[in-house]
A and B are shown apart, each in its own frame.
Chain A
Amino acid sequence: MTAPNHSWRNFKNAFMQTLACVCAILVVAPLLLVFYHLIKEGFTSINWAFFTQLPKPVGEPGGGMGNAIVGTFVLLAQAAVIGVPVGVLGGVFLSEYGGTKLNWWIRFAADILNGVPSITWGIVVYALLVVPMHGFSALAGGVVLGMMMIPLVMRTTEEVLQLVPGGYREAALALGISKWKTIVQIVIRTALKGIVTGVLLALARVAGETAPLLFTALGNQNWTHKLTEPIAAMPLQIFAYAISPYDDWHRQAWAGALVLLLLVFSINIGVRFLTRDRFRQKV
Chain B
Amino acid sequence: MATDPNNPATALTVRNLSVFFGKNAAVKSVSLDIAACAVTAIIGPSGCGKSTFLRALNRMHELNPDARMEGEIRLFGDDIYSRSVESVAVRRRVGMVFQKSNPFPTMSIFENVTVGLRLNGVRSKKVLAERTEQSLRMSALWDEVKDRLHAPAISLSGGQQQRLCIARALAVQPEVLLMDEPASALDPLATSKIEDLILSLKKDYTIVIVTHNMQQAARASDFTAFFYLGELVEFGPTTKIFTSPAQKRTEDYVTGRFG
Contacts and interface: CB of A to CB of B under 8 A. Distances in A.
Contact of A167 (B93, B95, B102): B102
Contacts of B169: 174-175
A282 B154 CA distance: 8
Nearest to B87: A173
Q: Using C-beta atoms within 8 Å of the partner chain, give the interface range for chain A.
A: 20 to 34
B243 interface: no
Contact of A176 (B91, B105, B106, B165): B91
Interface in A154-183: 165, 167-178, 181
B60 A177 contact: no
A3 interface: no
B92 A186 contact: no
A169 B104 CA distance: 10
Contacts of A172: 104, 115, 119
B120 A174 contact: no
Contacts of A169: 63
Interface string A257-283: 000000000000000000000000111
Given A167-B98, A174-B169, A175-B95, A190 B105 contact: yes
A172 B106 CA distance: 13
Contacts of A282: 154
B105 A283 contact: yes
A176 B116 contact: yes
A28 B119 CA distance: 48
Contact of A175 (B89, B91, B105): B91
A96 B63 CA distance: 11
Interface string A183-216: 0011001101000000000000000000000000
B58 to A, nearest CB: 7
Nearest to B59: A173
Given A170-B98, A171-B98, A171-B165, A177 B105 contact: no
B212 interface: no
Contacts of A181: 119
A165 B99 CA distance: 14
Given A168-B104, A190-B105, 20 more contacts: A168-B102, A170-B98, A171-B102, A171-B165, A171-B168, A172-B104, A172-B115, A172-B119, A174-B60, A174-B98, A175-B95, A175-B116, A175-B172, A176-B91, A176-B95, A176-B116, A176-B120, A178-B88, A185-B119, A281-B105
List 4 tightest A-B contacts by C-beta distance, closest first.
A176-B92, A175-B116, A174-B96, A167-B102
Interface of A: 99, 165, 167-178, 181, 185-186, 189-190, 192, 281-283
